[in-house]
Chain A
């Protein structure tokens, strides 16, 4: 009986993954070349590219706000790392006049979805201002284009009620975002932080930059950028990086093999993973550990990329206690698999964090400009050299974060020994 169902590849329903790419033997097209799939063009419809995600970020330590030009230059220099299936930027210090309000930036299918979101947001808080986000069609970029809208929100304290997991307006906001992403058809929340926004989409990094006019239109003291080479999950608007919750943004290069464990862990705290990609969960872990549990960023990094037990056995007794406690408490927040991530946040202080996995299976390089005003991190050194006169450039140690903070500089270089002295109590 079973043989009848799968007797021929052509019997696969055309709505399946394979159906969309074309059946073996049928005429298909790949990069402008037509041919019979599996005969003269490759079976999955693609031509192999030697690429991987690219990440880049910069923070002006002196607080100078700059437009997106340097961030765009950095990420487009590494264009060999992307394949045109997603790119995005996060800008911090974007709305100094509206810094008290949450800025919710949404991808929307149409006006109907926008009205539904507006109706919902009116119910859960006050909309202070709303506007369409500027976009311009880009030649060669695949449609359809979404409608992109931003709402500035404030949450009256009376609405923040004491359900078990809601302790603050931030918790309340997380629930609002989760509701939009899960329940409202045709709407997707790109970013929801204060004084920041995420601009992302399905295209090459230079296309996305042009689509949102990032080189000219916006100014911020910190920029993160990502160009995508999707490996395990589809390339689509929502799945582009940076991922965001409140003002935590995350660009990721790699694969999270512990996704299932991490996902169930954050779900217990009310986060819902809806974006079909492993990187999303890491954003929620940062929010959970740093905002909700109040861990310093350095300790949170140690929980996500903990030392091996062989390494821990070499520490002094009191350091061992801390290291073991972290591994035991946050076993399910540990990120396994190859990754290098770039994280941006506004809390408690605006900071950029760069972190790699413990075996250094993805590239990461950090640097500081010659004048000491700007800290950089990127997948490749060429991105750094493209945009500035570099002073020191260094490779951070695996599982050891680089933390650059506004007005303070490089507060953690990623080459120091973790678990030593006052380091653990640092308030960054």
Chain B
């Protein structure tokens, strides 16, 4: 195993962050030369880390703060971030897993096509915007904490979850049920499902997002996903079931069909 492990320092000899293309070149070279476990230290704002990488047996550990577009077009590897991510994490990702031990802010999972993103902390705006699915390709994004407006905007497929938990050093608390999500949830949603472990008032729903009843099917769909989440962040799954989970689905597959031409619908 040892020869398959490579550590990369993301600082140059003067202690300044390497430019993103230099760092990415090193990470790709390591993966291409057969490394199975790549540890990247002192990451500070470098963008596009592991872009388009296809080695599905590679695990990349990131210590620090990766920049925008972490794992853009990712097609296989597992990325574990010990810190917080910035915007567009998992942009248009095809396959693979991203685990974030911190927050991941705006536009996470933008147009994702498959793969999984698990975030321990909070999120920002437009998470899962235009995520899509096809047959067994089904992207999944789970946030442990709170998220902000436009959660699942223009969503076309996949599964989005916000749990409203505050997970810190082994302790787990609920945040106020009112503060798990903010307005315009699933605005323009026309596929996929959003699950929210907290209150969802009617006025917080976006265009064509509808509250549905949470059934046995939803439970069996969510259980393996949440088990995986609990395993990464070491929390008991019973804690999650303590509060009711709300399900949001699209009311139409073409919510804006009559917007530009009223005669089309």
Question: B179-216: which have CB < 8 Å to A?
Answer: 182-183, 203
Known interface pairs A77-B17, A360-B125, A381-B65; A393-B84 also in contact (CB < 8 Å) = yes
Q: Is B51 positioned at the interface, with any CB of A under 8 Å from its CB? A: no
Q: Is B68 positioned at the interface, with any CB of A under 8 Å from its CB? A: yes
Pair B124/A381 contact, Cβ less than 8 Å: no
Q: Which residues of B have CB within 8 Å of A98? A: none
Q: Is A398 positioned at the interface, with any CB of B under 8 Å from its CB? A: yes
Q: Which residues of B have CB within 8 Å of A393? A: 84, 103
Q: Which residues of A have CB within 8 Å of B67? A: 80, 380, 382
Q: Which residues of A have CB within 8 Å of B203? A: 310, 314
Size of chain B's interface in residues, with CB distance under 8 A?
26
Pair A397/B182 contact, Cβ less than 8 Å: yes
Q: Which residues of B have CB within 8 Å of A363? A: 86-87, 105-106
Q: Which 9 A-B pairs have the closest CB atoms?
A: A382-B45, A360-B125, A382-B65, A395-B124, A385-B65, A382-B44, A380-B86, A77-B45, A381-B65
Of A365, A385, A397, A398, the residue contacting B105 (CB under 8 A) is A365
Q: Is B20 positioned at the interface, with any CB of A under 8 Å from its CB? A: yes
- The CA-CA distance from A363 to B83 in the complex, in Å, is 18
Smallest CB-CB separation from A380: which chain B residue?
B86
Q: Is A386 positioned at the interface, with any CB of B under 8 Å from its CB? A: yes
Known interface pairs A314-B203, A395-B105, A397-B182; A80-B45 also in contact (CB < 8 Å) = yes
Q: Could you list some 24 contacts between A and B, CB below 8 A?
A: A77-B44, A77-B45, A78-B45, A80-B20, A80-B47, A310-B203, A314-B203, A359-B150, A360-B124, A360-B125, A360-B148, A363-B106, A365-B105, A380-B45, A381-B65, A381-B105, A383-B45, A385-B64, A386-B17, A386-B44, A393-B103, A395-B148, A397-B148, A398-B149
Smallest CB-CB separation from A73: which chain B residue?
B16
Pair A360/B106 contact, Cβ less than 8 Å: yes
- Main secondary structure, interface of A, reads mixed
Q: Is B133 positioned at the interface, with any CB of A under 8 Å from its CB? A: no
* Chain B 37-67 per-residue mask, 1 if CB under 8 angstroms from chain A, else 0: 0000000110100000000000000001101
Among A78, A80, A359, A383, the most chain B Cβ lie within 10 Å of the Cβ of A80
Q: Is B80 positioned at the interface, with any CB of A under 8 Å from its CB? A: no
Given contacts A382-B17, A385-B65, 12 further A-B contacts (CB under 8 A): A80-B20, A80-B47, A80-B67, A314-B203, A360-B148, A365-B105, A381-B84, A385-B64, A386-B17, A394-B122, A398-B125, A398-B149
Smallest CB-CB separation from B203: which chain A residue?
A314
- Main secondary structure, interface of B, reads loop
* Chain A 60-95 per-residue mask, 1 if CB under 8 angstroms from chain B, else 0: 000000000000000001101000000000000000
Question: A357-380: which have CB < 8 Å to B?
Answer: 359-360, 363, 365, 380
Smallest CB-CB separation from B66: which chain A residue?
A382
Q: Which residues of B have CB within 8 Å of A381? A: 65, 84, 86, 105
Q: Which residues of A have CB within 8 Å of B47? A: 80
* Chain B 93-135 per-residue mask, 1 if CB under 8 angstroms from chain A, else 0: 0000000000101100000000000000010111000000000
B185 CB to closest chain A CB (Å) equals: 14
Q: Which residues of B have CB within 8 Å of A80? A: 20, 45, 47, 67
Interface residues of A, Cβ cutoff 8 Å to B? 77-78, 80, 310-311, 314, 359-360, 363, 365, 380-383, 385-386, 393-395, 397-398
Q: Which residues of A have CB within 8 Å of B44? A: 77, 382, 385-386
Q: Which residues of B have CB within 8 Å of A77? A: 17, 44-45
Of A382, A385, A395, the residue contacting B122 (CB under 8 A) is A395
- The CA-CA distance from A393 to B65 in the complex, in Å, is 12
Smallest CB-CB separation from B45: which chain A residue?
A382
* Chain B 212-237 per-residue mask, 1 if CB under 8 angstroms from chain A, else 0: 00000000000000000000000000
Q: Which residues of A have CB within 8 Å of B125? A: 359-360, 395, 398
A170 CB to closest chain B CB (Å) equals: 38
* Chain B 1-38 per-residue mask, 1 if CB under 8 angstroms from chain A, else 0: 00000000000000001001000000000000000000
B164 CB to closest chain A CB (Å) equals: 15
Q: Which residues of A have CB within 8 Å of B182? A: 397
- The CA-CA distance from A71 to B122 in the complex, in Å, is 27
Q: Which residues of A have CB within 8 Å of B20? A: 80
Smallest CB-CB separation from B43: which chain A residue?
A382
Smallest CB-CB separation from A356: which chain B residue?
B125
- The CA-CA distance from A103 to B243 in the complex, in Å, is 59
B19 CB to closest chain A CB (Å) equals: 8
Pair A382/B86 contact, Cβ less than 8 Å: yes
B10 CB to closest chain A CB (Å) equals: 11
- The CA-CA distance from A380 to B17 in the complex, in Å, is 14
A216 CB to closest chain B CB (Å) equals: 17
Smallest CB-CB separation from A415: which chain B residue?
B179
B233 CB to closest chain A CB (Å) equals: 19
- The CA-CA distance from A398 to B149 in the complex, in Å, is 9
- The CA-CA distance from A380 to B67 in the complex, in Å, is 8
Smallest CB-CB separation from B124: which chain A residue?
A395
Pair B122/A360 contact, Cβ less than 8 Å: no
- The CA-CA distance from A381 to B106 in the complex, in Å, is 12
- The CA-CA distance from A308 to B55 in the complex, in Å, is 47
Smallest CB-CB separation from A79: which chain B residue?
B19
Smallest CB-CB separation from A314: which chain B residue?
B203
Pair B45/A360 contact, Cβ less than 8 Å: no
